[in-house]
């Protein structure tokens, strides 16, 4: 196994890209913005940031990165989606906008903006399975929740009776924004997932 830090991209088409780049670097990864297929090909894993899921979907198609991203996720590339990124990783959206596409990768059904509008944003302590220590402080901004998961998906956290964190294989998703709090433990969990994938590929 290579001891070099994993190279992890952040899909930089729209949303809170900078905050994820900072959090990944703090979790001992080499963080890079990714906008095009050739940049996607150079990373070991990818973060799909919060933002506006319909806009991100349409820009991913426009920039020619949607199909290569789907292919890499199907092939097992580790991927982590927050908020809009969670929506992008869902196999099904309960209430999609016209023309909205997803990358898929997690057998779940999500509801967009489930926790309310922008002015109903809030913070809450969330116990996330796999993250040691105190609960994670989750920032919920027009956040989705997961209506249901399939047999292959593992629920990692709930809030208010709703599923807010899910993992399936190398795909991780949270409806909240850990990158906005200065607590990088969820990003460290994802970096560990990327390291484990690289170790498996080197065997």
Residue where the block lists tokens 């949303």: 15
Of 159, 179, 184, 187, the catalytic one is: 179
* Rounded-to-integer distance, Cα 187 and Cα 93, Å: 25
Residue 73 backbone class (left: φ over 0; alpha: ψ -120 to 50; beta: rest): alpha
3 state SS of 19? helix
* Rounded-to-integer distance, Cα 186 and Cα 177, Å: 10
Of 19, 20, 159, 177, the catalytic one is: 177
* Rounded-to-integer distance, Cα 120 and Cα 23, Å: 25
Residue where the block lists tokens 């990003």: 187
184 is catalytic: no
Of 83, 159, 184, 187, the catalytic one is: 83
* Rounded-to-integer distance, Cα 166 and Cα 39, Å: 27
Type and span of the H or E element at 86: helix 84-89
158 is catalytic: no
154 is catalytic: no
3 state SS of 120? helix
Count of other CB atoms within 10 angstroms of residue 149: 20
Active site residues: 83, 177, 179
């Amino acid at each position: 196994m290579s001891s070099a830090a994993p190279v992890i991209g952040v899909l930089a088409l729209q949303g809170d890209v900078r905050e994820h780049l900072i959090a990944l670097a703090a979790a001992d990864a080499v963080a890079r913005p990714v906008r095009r297929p050739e940049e996607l090909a150079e990373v070991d894993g990818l973060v799909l940031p919060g933002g506006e899921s319909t806009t991100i979907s349409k820009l991913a198609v426009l920039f020619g990165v949607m199909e290569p991203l789907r292919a890499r996720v199907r092939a097992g590339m580790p991927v982590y989606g927050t908020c809009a990124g969670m929506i992008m990783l869902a196999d099904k959206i309960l209430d999609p906008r016209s023309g909205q596409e997803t990358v898929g990768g997690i057998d779940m059904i999500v509801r967009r903006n489930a926790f309310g509008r922008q002015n109903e944003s809030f913070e809450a302590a969330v116990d996330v399975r796999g993250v040691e220590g105190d609960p994670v402080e989750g920032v919920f901004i027009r956040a989705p929740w997961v209506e249901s998961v399939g047999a292959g998906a593992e629920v990692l956290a709930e809030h208010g009776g709703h599923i807010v964190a899910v993992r399936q294989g190398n795909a991780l998703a949270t409806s909240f924004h850990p990158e906005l709090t200065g607590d990088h433990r969820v990003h460290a969990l994802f970096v560990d997932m990327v390291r484990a994938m690289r170790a498996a590929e080197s065997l």
